[in-house]
Amino acid sequence: MQGAGLAGELDDKDGRAHRRDPMVTTESVMVILGLDIGKTKFDACLLGDGAKQSAHFPNTETGFAQLAAWLAKHRPPEMALHACMEATGNYGLALAAFLHADGATVSIVNPKQIKAFAEAELARNKTDKLDAALIARFCRTQNPPAWTPPAKHLRELREMVRRCAALKEHRTQEINRHKAGCASPAVRASIERALAHLNAEIDTITRQIHALLASDRQMQTNYNLLRTIPGIGEVSAAVLLAEIPNIAEFSKKGVAAFAGLSPTEASSGARNRTGGISRIGNAALRSTLYLGALSARTHNPRLAEFVARMTKEGRPNKVILIAVARKLLLLAQAIIQTQKPFDARHAEPEAAPA
Protein backbone atom coordinates (compact mmCIF):
# COMPACT_ATOMS: atom_id res chain seq x y z
CA MET A 1 0.00 0.00 0.00
CA GLN A 2 3.87 1.81 -0.88
CA GLY A 3 7.79 1.59 -1.92
CA ALA A 4 5.87 2.45 -5.04
CA GLY A 5 3.45 -0.33 -4.48
CA LEU A 6 1.67 0.31 -1.24
CA ALA A 7 0.02 3.56 -2.04
CA GLY A 8 -1.08 2.38 -5.45
CA GLU A 9 -2.02 -1.01 -4.18
CA LEU A 10 -4.03 -0.41 -1.12
CA ASP A 11 -6.61 2.21 -1.73
CA ASP A 12 -6.65 3.24 -4.16
CA LYS A 13 -9.94 4.36 -3.35
CA ASP A 14 -7.73 7.15 -2.48
CA GLY A 15 -7.33 8.40 -6.11
CA ARG A 16 -3.58 8.14 -6.35
CA ALA A 17 -1.79 10.15 -9.07
CA HIS A 18 0.05 7.13 -10.47
CA ARG A 19 3.06 7.28 -12.72
CA ARG A 20 2.69 5.29 -15.91
CA ASP A 21 5.08 2.51 -16.77
CA PRO A 22 6.49 3.35 -20.22
CA MET A 23 6.66 -0.39 -20.99
CA VAL A 24 2.90 -0.79 -20.57
CA THR A 25 1.16 0.25 -23.78
CA THR A 26 -1.95 -0.85 -25.53
CA GLU A 27 0.23 -2.05 -28.40
CA SER A 28 2.44 -4.30 -26.27
CA VAL A 29 -0.38 -5.73 -24.12
CA MET A 30 -2.27 -8.14 -26.36
CA VAL A 31 -4.46 -9.84 -23.76
CA ILE A 32 -6.52 -8.06 -21.10
CA LEU A 33 -7.86 -9.67 -17.93
CA GLY A 34 -10.65 -7.90 -16.06
CA LEU A 35 -11.25 -9.09 -12.49
CA ASP A 36 -14.27 -8.38 -10.29
CA ILE A 37 -13.18 -9.27 -6.76
CA GLY A 38 -15.45 -10.53 -4.01
CA LYS A 39 -14.73 -11.82 -0.54
CA THR A 40 -15.16 -15.50 -1.43
CA LYS A 41 -14.90 -15.54 -5.25
CA PHE A 42 -13.83 -13.48 -8.22
CA ASP A 43 -15.10 -13.22 -11.79
CA ALA A 44 -12.65 -13.02 -14.70
CA CYS A 45 -13.08 -11.74 -18.24
CA LEU A 46 -10.32 -12.31 -20.77
CA LEU A 47 -10.21 -10.08 -23.86
CA GLY A 48 -7.99 -11.40 -26.60
CA ASP A 49 -7.71 -10.79 -30.31
CA GLY A 50 -11.40 -10.53 -31.09
CA ALA A 51 -12.37 -13.15 -28.50
CA LYS A 52 -13.84 -12.94 -25.00
CA GLN A 53 -13.80 -15.62 -22.32
CA SER A 54 -15.50 -15.45 -18.90
CA ALA A 55 -15.24 -17.59 -15.78
CA HIS A 56 -15.36 -17.36 -12.00
CA PHE A 57 -13.13 -18.90 -9.33
CA PRO A 58 -12.91 -19.11 -5.53
CA ASN A 59 -10.86 -16.32 -4.00
CA THR A 60 -8.33 -18.79 -2.56
CA GLU A 61 -4.96 -20.21 -3.55
CA THR A 62 -6.81 -23.09 -5.17
CA GLY A 63 -8.80 -20.59 -7.19
CA PHE A 64 -5.61 -18.81 -8.24
CA ALA A 65 -4.23 -22.10 -9.57
CA GLN A 66 -7.48 -22.70 -11.44
CA LEU A 67 -7.21 -19.21 -12.95
CA ALA A 68 -3.65 -19.92 -14.09
CA ALA A 69 -4.77 -23.13 -15.79
CA TRP A 70 -7.68 -21.30 -17.44
CA LEU A 71 -5.36 -18.56 -18.68
CA ALA A 72 -2.92 -21.13 -20.07
CA LYS A 73 -5.79 -22.66 -22.03
CA HIS A 74 -7.13 -19.41 -23.49
CA ARG A 75 -4.03 -17.21 -23.79
CA PRO A 76 -1.12 -17.90 -26.16
CA PRO A 77 2.06 -18.02 -24.02
CA GLU A 78 3.84 -15.48 -26.23
CA MET A 79 1.20 -12.84 -25.50
CA ALA A 80 1.68 -10.44 -22.59
CA LEU A 81 -1.06 -10.16 -19.99
CA HIS A 82 -2.42 -6.99 -18.36
CA ALA A 83 -4.75 -7.73 -15.44
CA CYS A 84 -6.91 -5.04 -13.86
CA MET A 85 -9.06 -4.93 -10.73
CA GLU A 86 -10.66 -2.36 -8.47
CA ALA A 87 -9.14 -1.46 -5.12
CA THR A 88 -11.25 -3.52 -2.70
CA GLY A 89 -9.35 -3.38 0.56
CA ASN A 90 -7.45 -6.61 1.10
CA TYR A 91 -9.71 -8.93 -0.88
CA GLY A 92 -7.77 -8.68 -4.13
CA LEU A 93 -4.21 -8.27 -2.88
CA ALA A 94 -3.31 -11.95 -2.74
CA LEU A 95 -4.55 -12.47 -6.30
CA ALA A 96 -2.74 -9.34 -7.50
CA ALA A 97 0.51 -10.57 -5.94
CA PHE A 98 0.00 -14.01 -7.51
CA LEU A 99 -0.47 -12.56 -11.00
CA HIS A 100 2.44 -10.15 -10.58
CA ALA A 101 4.73 -13.02 -9.53
CA ASP A 102 3.57 -14.92 -12.62
CA GLY A 103 4.82 -12.10 -14.86
CA ALA A 104 1.60 -10.27 -15.56
CA THR A 105 1.24 -6.50 -15.48
CA VAL A 106 -1.30 -5.75 -12.76
CA SER A 107 -3.29 -2.55 -12.26
CA ILE A 108 -5.36 -1.73 -9.18
CA VAL A 109 -7.63 1.23 -9.88
CA ASN A 110 -9.94 3.56 -8.01
CA PRO A 111 -13.53 2.19 -8.11
CA LYS A 112 -14.72 5.69 -9.02
CA GLN A 113 -12.88 5.36 -12.33
CA ILE A 114 -14.74 2.14 -13.15
CA LYS A 115 -18.05 3.68 -12.12
CA ALA A 116 -17.44 6.72 -14.34
CA PHE A 117 -16.45 4.43 -17.21
CA ALA A 118 -19.69 2.46 -16.80
CA GLU A 119 -21.69 5.69 -16.83
CA ALA A 120 -19.88 6.77 -20.00
CA GLU A 121 -20.91 3.48 -21.61
CA LEU A 122 -24.50 4.01 -20.41
CA ALA A 123 -24.36 0.62 -18.69
CA ARG A 124 -27.83 -0.43 -17.54
CA ASN A 125 -27.16 -3.78 -15.90
CA LYS A 126 -24.77 -4.83 -13.17
CA THR A 127 -23.63 -8.35 -12.32
CA ASP A 128 -20.27 -9.73 -11.27
CA LYS A 129 -19.75 -11.17 -14.76
CA LEU A 130 -20.65 -7.88 -16.43
CA ASP A 131 -18.44 -5.95 -14.02
CA ALA A 132 -15.43 -8.12 -14.90
CA ALA A 133 -16.04 -7.41 -18.59
CA LEU A 134 -16.43 -3.70 -17.83
CA ILE A 135 -13.10 -3.62 -15.98
CA ALA A 136 -11.46 -5.43 -18.89
CA ARG A 137 -12.75 -2.84 -21.36
CA PHE A 138 -11.60 -0.05 -19.07
CA CYS A 139 -8.13 -1.59 -18.93
CA ARG A 140 -7.97 -2.01 -22.71
CA THR A 141 -8.99 1.57 -23.49
CA GLN A 142 -7.49 3.49 -20.55
CA ASN A 143 -4.24 1.54 -20.06
CA PRO A 144 -4.01 2.13 -16.27
CA PRO A 145 -0.57 2.25 -14.63
CA ALA A 146 1.15 -0.83 -13.29
CA TRP A 147 1.03 -1.80 -9.61
CA THR A 148 4.01 -3.08 -7.67
CA PRO A 149 3.57 -5.26 -4.56
CA PRO A 150 4.57 -3.47 -1.36
CA ALA A 151 7.21 -4.67 1.03
CA LYS A 152 5.70 -6.82 3.77
CA HIS A 153 6.67 -4.48 6.63
CA LEU A 154 5.07 -1.51 4.84
CA ARG A 155 1.80 -3.37 4.39
CA GLU A 156 1.89 -4.39 8.05
CA LEU A 157 2.46 -0.79 9.10
CA ARG A 158 -0.52 0.44 7.15
CA GLU A 159 -2.82 -2.23 8.56
CA MET A 160 -1.63 -1.55 12.11
CA VAL A 161 -2.00 2.23 11.80
CA ARG A 162 -5.50 1.85 10.40
CA ARG A 163 -6.43 -0.63 13.10
CA CYS A 164 -5.24 1.81 15.76
CA ALA A 165 -7.35 4.58 14.20
CA ALA A 166 -10.42 2.32 14.16
CA LEU A 167 -9.94 1.46 17.84
CA LYS A 168 -9.65 5.15 18.72
CA GLU A 169 -12.82 5.92 16.80
CA HIS A 170 -14.63 3.17 18.69
CA ARG A 171 -13.25 4.51 21.98
CA THR A 172 -14.56 7.99 21.17
CA GLN A 173 -18.02 6.54 20.62
CA GLU A 174 -17.95 4.81 23.99
CA ILE A 175 -16.67 7.96 25.71
CA ASN A 176 -19.55 9.94 24.22
CA ARG A 177 -22.03 7.34 25.43
CA HIS A 178 -20.52 7.51 28.91
CA LYS A 179 -20.68 11.31 28.96
CA ALA A 180 -24.32 11.24 27.85
CA GLY A 181 -25.18 9.39 31.05
CA CYS A 182 -26.80 6.03 31.65
CA ALA A 183 -29.95 5.26 33.59
CA SER A 184 -28.84 1.64 33.88
CA PRO A 185 -25.86 0.86 36.12
CA ALA A 186 -25.34 -2.32 34.10
CA VAL A 187 -24.97 -0.33 30.87
CA ARG A 188 -22.59 2.12 32.51
CA ALA A 189 -20.45 -0.75 33.80
CA SER A 190 -20.47 -2.32 30.33
CA ILE A 191 -19.25 0.92 28.74
CA GLU A 192 -16.48 1.23 31.34
CA ARG A 193 -15.34 -2.33 30.68
CA ALA A 194 -15.35 -1.64 26.94
CA LEU A 195 -13.28 1.52 27.49
CA ALA A 196 -10.74 -0.35 29.60
CA HIS A 197 -10.44 -3.01 26.89
CA LEU A 198 -10.10 -0.44 24.10
CA ASN A 199 -7.45 1.49 26.02
CA ALA A 200 -5.45 -1.68 26.51
CA GLU A 201 -5.77 -2.61 22.81
CA ILE A 202 -4.70 0.88 21.71
CA ASP A 203 -1.67 0.78 24.02
CA THR A 204 -0.70 -2.65 22.69
CA ILE A 205 -0.95 -1.82 19.01
CA THR A 206 0.80 1.52 19.54
CA ARG A 207 3.77 -0.32 21.03
CA GLN A 208 3.70 -2.74 18.12
CA ILE A 209 3.72 0.15 15.63
CA HIS A 210 6.79 1.64 17.29
CA ALA A 211 8.49 -1.76 17.33
CA LEU A 212 7.78 -2.18 13.60
CA LEU A 213 9.15 1.28 12.85
CA ALA A 214 12.29 0.50 14.81
CA SER A 215 12.79 -2.74 12.89
CA ASP A 216 13.62 -0.87 9.67
CA ARG A 217 16.43 1.71 9.76
CA GLN A 218 15.14 3.90 6.91
CA MET A 219 11.59 3.84 8.18
CA GLN A 220 12.74 4.82 11.67
CA THR A 221 14.92 7.60 10.22
CA ASN A 222 12.01 8.99 8.20
CA TYR A 223 9.76 8.79 11.24
CA ASN A 224 12.23 10.77 13.32
CA LEU A 225 12.63 13.35 10.55
CA LEU A 226 8.88 13.85 10.27
CA ARG A 227 8.64 14.30 14.03
CA THR A 228 10.88 17.38 13.78
CA ILE A 229 8.12 19.26 11.92
CA PRO A 230 5.89 21.31 14.25
CA GLY A 231 2.38 20.03 13.61
CA ILE A 232 3.45 16.44 12.92
CA GLY A 233 3.15 14.29 16.03
CA GLU A 234 3.73 10.61 16.70
CA VAL A 235 0.40 9.57 15.20
CA SER A 236 0.67 11.90 12.19
CA ALA A 237 4.18 10.71 11.35
CA ALA A 238 3.11 7.06 11.49
CA VAL A 239 0.08 7.78 9.29
CA LEU A 240 2.24 9.58 6.71
CA LEU A 241 4.66 6.65 6.52
CA ALA A 242 1.84 4.12 6.38
CA GLU A 243 -0.33 5.83 3.79
CA ILE A 244 2.33 7.27 1.51
CA PRO A 245 5.78 5.85 2.26
CA ASN A 246 6.95 6.58 -1.30
CA ILE A 247 6.22 10.29 -0.84
CA ALA A 248 9.66 11.25 -2.17
CA GLU A 249 8.76 9.85 -5.60
CA PHE A 250 5.82 12.19 -6.15
CA SER A 251 5.76 15.63 -7.70
CA LYS A 252 4.29 18.43 -5.62
CA LYS A 253 1.05 18.33 -7.57
CA GLY A 254 1.00 14.55 -7.47
CA VAL A 255 1.34 14.25 -3.71
CA ALA A 256 -1.37 16.89 -3.16
CA ALA A 257 -3.66 15.01 -5.55
CA PHE A 258 -2.98 11.73 -3.73
CA ALA A 259 -4.15 13.29 -0.48
CA GLY A 260 -7.18 14.92 -2.12
CA LEU A 261 -5.82 18.39 -1.36
CA SER A 262 -5.57 19.62 -4.94
CA PRO A 263 -7.40 22.90 -5.60
CA THR A 264 -10.41 22.65 -7.89
CA GLU A 265 -12.11 25.05 -10.24
CA ALA A 266 -15.74 25.00 -11.37
CA SER A 267 -16.31 27.52 -14.14
CA SER A 268 -19.20 27.33 -16.57
CA GLY A 269 -20.99 30.29 -18.11
CA ALA A 270 -21.61 32.90 -15.44
CA ARG A 271 -20.64 30.45 -12.69
CA ASN A 272 -17.09 30.72 -11.44
CA ARG A 273 -16.18 28.95 -8.21
CA THR A 274 -12.64 28.30 -7.05
CA GLY A 275 -10.94 27.59 -3.75
CA GLY A 276 -12.27 24.09 -3.04
CA ILE A 277 -10.32 20.84 -2.98
CA SER A 278 -10.92 17.69 -4.96
CA ARG A 279 -11.33 15.27 -2.01
CA ILE A 280 -10.58 12.51 -4.52
CA GLY A 281 -7.70 11.03 -2.58
CA ASN A 282 -6.60 9.29 0.58
CA ALA A 283 -9.15 10.29 3.22
CA ALA A 284 -7.11 9.03 6.18
CA LEU A 285 -4.11 11.07 5.09
CA ARG A 286 -6.21 14.17 4.43
CA SER A 287 -7.88 13.95 7.85
CA THR A 288 -4.53 13.56 9.61
CA LEU A 289 -3.07 16.56 7.80
CA TYR A 290 -6.13 18.66 8.60
CA LEU A 291 -5.75 17.88 12.31
CA GLY A 292 -2.04 18.61 12.05
CA ALA A 293 -2.85 21.97 10.47
CA LEU A 294 -4.80 22.97 13.59
CA SER A 295 -1.55 22.77 15.54
CA ALA A 296 0.85 23.84 12.80
CA ARG A 297 -0.92 27.13 12.09
CA THR A 298 0.24 28.45 15.47
CA HIS A 299 3.23 26.29 16.44
CA ASN A 300 5.03 26.01 13.12
CA PRO A 301 6.82 29.35 12.66
CA ARG A 302 7.09 29.03 8.90
CA LEU A 303 3.44 28.22 8.48
CA ALA A 304 2.33 30.73 11.12
CA GLU A 305 3.63 33.54 8.89
CA PHE A 306 1.66 32.10 5.99
CA VAL A 307 -1.49 31.93 8.13
CA ALA A 308 -1.06 35.54 9.24
CA ARG A 309 -0.81 36.68 5.64
CA MET A 310 -3.93 34.75 4.57
CA THR A 311 -5.86 36.00 7.60
CA LYS A 312 -4.94 39.57 6.71
CA GLU A 313 -6.28 38.94 3.20
CA GLY A 314 -9.61 37.91 4.73
CA ARG A 315 -9.52 34.25 3.76
CA PRO A 316 -12.05 31.98 5.56
CA ASN A 317 -10.67 29.86 8.38
CA LYS A 318 -11.46 26.58 6.60
CA VAL A 319 -9.64 27.71 3.46
CA ILE A 320 -6.62 28.63 5.58
CA LEU A 321 -6.58 25.25 7.32
CA ILE A 322 -6.76 23.39 4.01
CA ALA A 323 -3.90 25.49 2.65
CA VAL A 324 -1.85 24.80 5.79
CA ALA A 325 -2.57 21.06 5.49
CA ARG A 326 -1.28 21.10 1.92
CA LYS A 327 1.84 23.03 2.90
CA LEU A 328 2.40 20.63 5.78
CA LEU A 329 2.28 17.73 3.33
CA LEU A 330 4.76 19.42 0.96
CA LEU A 331 7.04 20.21 3.88
CA ALA A 332 6.96 16.56 4.95
CA GLN A 333 7.81 15.56 1.39
CA ALA A 334 10.77 17.95 1.29
CA ILE A 335 12.05 16.69 4.65
CA ILE A 336 12.00 13.08 3.42
CA GLN A 337 13.57 13.97 0.07
CA THR A 338 16.45 15.93 1.59
CA GLN A 339 16.82 13.69 4.67
CA LYS A 340 17.32 16.85 6.72
CA PRO A 341 15.32 17.76 9.83
CA PHE A 342 13.04 20.76 9.97
CA ASP A 343 14.79 24.05 10.69
CA ALA A 344 12.65 27.18 10.88
CA ARG A 345 15.73 29.37 10.35
CA HIS A 346 16.32 28.02 6.85
CA ALA A 347 14.33 28.33 3.67
CA GLU A 348 12.03 25.45 2.79
CA PRO A 349 14.08 22.56 1.35
CA GLU A 350 13.90 21.82 -2.35
CA ALA A 351 11.10 19.38 -3.12
CA ALA A 352 10.36 17.53 -6.33
CA PRO A 353 9.44 19.74 -9.27
CA ALA A 354 5.73 20.24 -9.80
Average confidence score pLDDT of the chain: 84
| pLDDT given for residue 255 in this prediction | 85
Cβ pair 137, 34 in contact under 8 A = yes
**174-200 pLDDT, tens per residue?**
999 999 999 999 999 999 999 999 999
Q: Where are the beta strands (DSSP E) in the chain?
A: 31-37, 41-47, 52-58, 81-86, 105-109, 263-268, 271-277
CA dist 223 and 238 (Å) reads: 7
| pLDDT given for residue 276 in this prediction | 59
| pLDDT given for residue 10 in this prediction | 41
What is the pTM (predicted TM-score) of this model? 0.73
Distances (CA, A) of 235 to 22, 100, 240, 272, 288: 36, 33, 9, 38, 8
**314-345 pLDDT, tens per residue?**
888 888 888 899 999 999 999 999 999 998 76
- Torsion over CA: 326, 331, 337, 339 (sign): negative
Using DSSP, state whether 263 is helix, strand or coil.
strand
Using DSSP, state whether 259 is helix, strand or coil.
coil
Quickly name the fold that domain 20-142 has. Answer: Nucleotidyltransferase; domain 5 (3.30.420)
Cβ pair 5, 108 in contact under 8 A = no
Q: Is residue 63 over pLDDT 80?
A: yes
Going by their DSSP bridges, the two strands 105-109 and 81-86 should be labelled as: parallel
**253-294 pLDDT, tens per residue?**
888 888 888 765 555 555 555 555 666 678 888 889 989 988
| pLDDT given for residue 275 in this prediction | 53
Across 120-135, average pLDDT:
92
Using DSSP, state whether 269 is helix, strand or coil.
coil
**208-228 pLDDT, tens per residue?**
999 999 999 999 999 999 999
| pLDDT given for residue 321 in this prediction | 87
Q: What is the DSSP string of 19-45?
A: PPPTT--TTT--EEEEEEE-SSEEEEE
Q: What angle do CA 236, 242, 243 make, to 5 degrees?
A: 90
Q: Where are the domains of the chain?
A: 20-142, 152-228, 240-338
